[in-house]
Structure 1
Amino acid sequence: MAQHMKDRVVALAGPRKAAEMAKLVENMGGTPLIRPAQGTVFLDDEVLRESIENWLKEPAPPWAIFTTGIGLEAIYDMAEQMGVLDRLNATLTQTTIAARGYKTVNALKKRGLTPIVRDDDGSTSGLIRALEPFDLADKRIVLQLHGESAPKLVEWLESRGAQVETILPYKHIPPREEDISLLVDEIIQGKVDAVAFTSAPQFRFLADFARDHGKLEAVLEAFRGPVIAVAVGKVTAQGLREEGIARLLVPEDERMGSMMVELGRFFAQSAN
């Protein structure tokens, strides 16, 4: 693999698959720093159980919207533990399914399910565009959220007259303070050349910490140059832009490996 990251330091803000991404950075000649900017915790089993029980009450909801593959898997795992897996499958075969993101679509296909509605760009806005032609008035919709509330999507569904029931298989939590403090200082001091983000909450937690400690403007200034922000996909990029990051890289193929390749290409071009 070309040494496009030679003498470059890359901070990895995503806790998932951090070791794999670190190996990619090393293979391209760079130095990876694992700096988790979020934690993920699965919710209390009782909360998820109750949500699934409500979902499966007759009559079955005519719509289900899934927003992450990992969330769908968590629902299926819990349904299996509860002994209601067959009921869940039966319900979903009678349900109009909408999905956001290719990972969600793949997770559904693995279960023999095909979404009737899906986004065109991996974003919540794309999902809303895809839902616009449908009459949702007075329709009961089960919405699987992705680690945090989704006020934009919920508000839009309710504005169309839908009855929205949310199910939250997991939620994002802040990282350890010492981890995020170290990353903030490394960004401000220019000790990293790039920071790779794999979800929008990662930068939001970073920005919140920096804001609380009077360092947000210094962080934003660093990201104007020389530090470059990298987002794994459009949803993550949207979250960064909302927090004031305009200069960032986003791969066409929304995968972690593609993100590292895109960053390597950027460094190679910068060196010329």
Structure 2
Amino acid sequence: MQDVLTGYTIGITAERKAEELGDVLRRRGARVLFGAAMHTVPLPEDGELAEVTERVLSAPVDYAIAITGMGFRGWFESAELNGAGERLREHLSSAHVVARGAKARGAVRGAGLRDAWTSPEEESAEVLEYLLEHDLAGKRIVLQVHGDPMRAFRERLAEAGAEVVAVTVYRWTDPVDLPALDRLIDAVIAGEVDALPFTSAPAATNFLARADATGRAEPLRKVLREKVFIACVGPVTAAPIAREGLPHATPERSRTAALVRLLENHFTDGSA
């Protein structure tokens, strides 16, 4: 579908793979504006992550949950650097390992572990539903999270009687280039942006928070409600947008390719 986005401007708030997404959109004719809304920072190898890894190793694990490929892989890489890689691998080898999607499953297998179940739709909600189908009373669950602390997810598991150990591999900070984010927000307010595709909840949260912190909250939200097509890669990403009551759409599958198709369809089926 070449040139289907010609004449439209799309803002990209992602940091990782921003250029890749931008190239896909440009090939379809779109004008692309970049303004990363967050920056991913790995936790210190000898700090918090090492401490929580030792906590994981302190008792048997019944379930190990890989939420993202990047995060699970990063956890094992950190453990290897700290001399705990083999211990961690052996410790989790008897656990029921669950992966949220193909990338997480690939990271699990790359770590030398066997996955027992993978979410077909690659949704955290689907993983939670699967876990709650089991008797979790007294079970110890290790949950690898990626930036988002997944508090509601963890609370549901705790309510079911499980002990939950959250392993946070990365945290989010303000973007390296704040002026670029400010320029993108200004362009949205000026009516120069037709669509905003969000690929992570922290990016959506920080995009709105930056406008709040710089006195542009109301004009931004007005334009977002009336003129900008907000496309979120999945319901987790959409949560901060939904909380604000802003109109948005999500593709049937939480994939970047599906997100691009959603944009294409919006601007070619008369919705725009």
TM-score (normalizing by structure 1)? 0.89
Which residue matches 1:195?
Answer: 196
2:269 counterpart SS class: helix
What are the ranges of 5 or more consecutive residues in structure 2 without an aligned counterpart?
A: none
Equivalent AA in structure 1 for residue 247 of structure 2: A
Q: Deviations over 1:72-97 (max 9, x none)?
A: 01011112223333222222220112
Structure 2 CA distance, aligned partners of 1:271 and 1:66?
37
Structure 1 CA distance, aligned partners of 2:245 and 2:123?
18
Structure 1 CA distance, aligned partners of 2:18 and 2:234?
16
Which residue matches 1:144?
Answer: 144
Q: Is the Cα contact below 8 Å between 1:21 and 1:257 reproduced in 2?
A: no
The Cα RMSD (Å) is 2.2
Structure 1 CA distance, aligned partners of 2:225 and 2:45?
43
Which residue matches 1:212?
Answer: 213
Which residue matches 2:231?
Answer: 230
Number of equivalenced pairs? 270
**Range with bigger deviation, 10-19 or 257-266:** 257-266
2:270 counterpart SS class: helix
Structure 2 CA distance, aligned partners of 1:167 and 1:247?
31
Q: Is the Cα contact below 8 Å between 1:36 and 1:180 reproduced in 2?
A: yes
Q: Is the Cα contact below 8 Å between 1:61 and 1:95 reproduced in 2?
A: yes
Structure 1 CA distance, aligned partners of 2:102 and 2:238?
16
Q: Deviations over 1:89-132 (max 9, x none)?
A: 22222011233233212322344534335445433332221111
**Range with bigger deviation, 86-95 or 208-217:** 208-217
What are the ranges of 5 or more consecutive residues in structure 1 without an aligned counterpart?
A: none
Which residue matches 1:70?
Answer: 70
Q: Is the Cα contact below 8 Å between 2:146 and 2:168 reproduced in 1?
A: yes
Equivalent AA in structure 1 for residue 211 of structure 2: A
Structure 1 CA distance, aligned partners of 2:67 and 2:114?
14
Tell me: CA distance 1:27–1:144, structure 2 relative to 1, closer, same or farther (3 Å).
Answer: same
2:64 counterpart SS class: strand
Which residue matches 2:56?
Answer: 55
Which residue matches 2:262?
Answer: 262
Tell me: CA distance 1:154–1:223, structure 2 relative to 1, closer, same or farther (3 Å).
Answer: same
Structure 2 CA distance, aligned partners of 1:124 and 1:243?
21
Q: How does 1:91-240 map to 2 (within 5 A)?
A: 91-119=91-119, 121-175=121-175, 176-240=177-241
Structure 1 CA distance, aligned partners of 2:139 and 2:253?
34
Equivalent AA in structure 1 for residue 145 of structure 2: L
* Structure 1 residue 42 displacement after superposition: 0.5
Which residue matches 2:10?
Answer: 10
Q: Is the Cα contact below 8 Å between 1:122 and 1:235 reproduced in 2?
A: no
Structure 1 CA distance, aligned partners of 2:119 and 2:74?
22
Identity of aligned residues (%): 30
* Structure 1 residue 40 displacement after superposition: 0.5
Q: Is the Cα contact below 8 Å between 1:43 and 1:170 reproduced in 2?
A: yes
Structure 2 CA distance, aligned partners of 1:242 and 1:164?
26
Q: Deviations over 1:240-269 (max 9, x none)?
A: 222322233x23343223322321232122
TM-score (normalizing by structure 2)? 0.89
**Range with bigger deviation, 27-36 or 83-92:** 83-92
Equivalent AA in structure 2 for residue 170 of structure 1: Y
